[in-house]
Amino acid sequence: MLRTLAIRDFVIVRRVDLELGPGFNVLTGETGAGKSILVDAIELLVGGRADAACVRDGAERAELAAEFDLPTGAALSAWLRDNALEGDEGSILLRRTVDRSGRSRAFINGHAATLAQLKDAGELLVDIHGQHAHQSLLRAAAQRAMLDAFGEAQGLADACAEAYRAWRRLETLLAEAETRHARIEEERAQLEAQRVELERLAPRAGEWDTLSEEHARLANAAGLLEGAQAALDALSEADGAMAPQLAALAERLRALSRHDRALEAVVEMLDAAEAQASEAARTLRQYASRLELDPAALREVEARIEALHAAARKYRVAPGELPALAESLAARATELERAADPEALRRELQAAQATLAERAQQLSAKRKRAAQKLGRAVTEGMQGLAMTGGRFAVRLDPLEAPSAAGAESVAFEVAAHPSLPLRPLARVASGGELSRISLALQLVLRRYAPVDTLVFDEIDSGIGGAVADVVGRSLRQLGVERQVLCVTHLPQVAAQGDAQWSVRKNARGTAIAVAVERLDRSARIEELARMLGGAKITATTRKHAAELLAG
């Protein structure tokens, strides 16, 4: 969910800060007020194209930042770990700057990031529907994943991908076995010697860190013991030690506090200090009793460290990476052993191919059933969204051979009117139609799509009246499970929002500034009345606006 959005010197926006909540959020304002600029800012933050025109006149650079909630266990969490872009737990911060020359810089959680990384992260955070291109629904991989989720076929899809990877690996091994027999034997011998050497050394996961800590303790045992004893003397055992003095001071002031209760607070502090000093002394005494000088143990640890260091230098890895190296060498040795027997590999390859074909066939059957069901559901949803007679279908085209994604390609197709043929969703021309088709899809797929924040622009293009009311209620329904942001000119849509934001363009001399304000109930009635009646607002339009908001 998009939590905050900060915009500085972007197009005509000098400074805007939004704190957004869950549910259905609407952005309203007069034509040209800058509502779509906020959508453009979000699109830029998730990898959209930037140029010098993004920078406000007179400013050195435009700067955009957004903070999103990051659900625990989300796919994006793993992606951030893999790309070393982690930040605060439970959130992700995107930031982008564009200078006057058009040069752009991107940051994720404060780390410099590439535009490709920003796009990858954005695809898991936001879908923008309308005239913008950043929509997961338009990508073939996302359409396939949604169909599989809708048809409860994710497990089969994963199994098919696993079977494909296993088949490809065996195919590669067989090619190696047939063309590189001599080199394979040489590599096998070398790997075997390395494997045996590391097996004798037997490095354990986490051993290097444990040894380093143990070595530091043993090597500094004398200093640690001396320091602990000195501290123990100062606290409790030497003449004039702290703990007895603190106790004596507390007793003296306790007697005086009978004459002035203001000293009681000081007595409590001294009692606490004496208790802490005594506890520290007891802990130090126990520590010193366990600490002992052990030259033999130190020599043993140093010998082990040197052995690990020598192996790490030989294999050009860090000492802590030796256990992983041993595992990888063993795995590669097993592969080469198999590669030394091409006939056995051919049998394995045939079995793997049969497994892939079987899993792909099962996946195809599930996809076919899910495609028919999804097509009917989305077609039904389109009928109330100014697309009477429109159709939606999922097209499955068989591939020549199964791939990691199955035995067919998946494409979402639509016809917005009865007279039009079905075409790929990505080729729907009208921004308003595309937004409404996306809305119908999202209502059906809202439990399966991976993106939590949906932005709709142009969804009210070419509609009004009862259809606008249906669109508004549909967006509100979608907002129950997802965060929805919608730019709208229609009061019927705006009235359904859980929260409403007014976007205004103010002129101060030659300067133009955009202001964004969250509206309370009375302000919402005024804004809805303006949307209903234009510049002249009457008691009747206010009454109608209040009825819309209440309904």
What are the pLDDT digits (tens) for 367-424?
Answer: 999 999 999 999 998 888 878 899 999 999 999 999 999 999 999 999 888 888 999 8
pLDDT digits (tens, 9 = 90+) for 222-239: 566 666 667 767 777 777
**Cα within 13 Å of Cα(523), Cβ side:** 11
Q: What is the pLDDT of residues 438-496, one digit of tens each?
A: 888 888 887 776 688 988 887 777 777 788 888 888 999 889 888 999 988 889 999 99
Q: Alpha-carbon distance 356 to 406, whole Å? A: 9
Give me Rg for the CA atoms of the chain. Answer: 34
Judge residue 332's burial from the number of C-beta atoms within 10 Å of its C-beta, 0-12 exposed, 13-18 middle, 19 or more buried.
middle
* pTM beyond 0.85: no
- 35-46 as b/e, with b when 16 or more CB fall inside 10 Å? bbbbbbbbbbbb
Indicate the length of the chain as a whole number: 551
Tell me the domains of the chain and their CATH numbers.
1-125+494-518 (3.40.50.300)
Q: pLDDT band at residue 294, thresholds of 50, 70 and 90? A: low
Tokens 């535009």 locate to 115
| Residue among 67, 18, 42, 40 nearest 501 (CA) | 18
Rounded Cα gap, residues 323 and 199, in angstroms: 10
Write out pLDDT tens, residues 71-128.
755 678 888 888 889 888 889 999 999 999 889 999 999 999 999 999 989 888 888 8
Strand, coil or helix: 422? coil
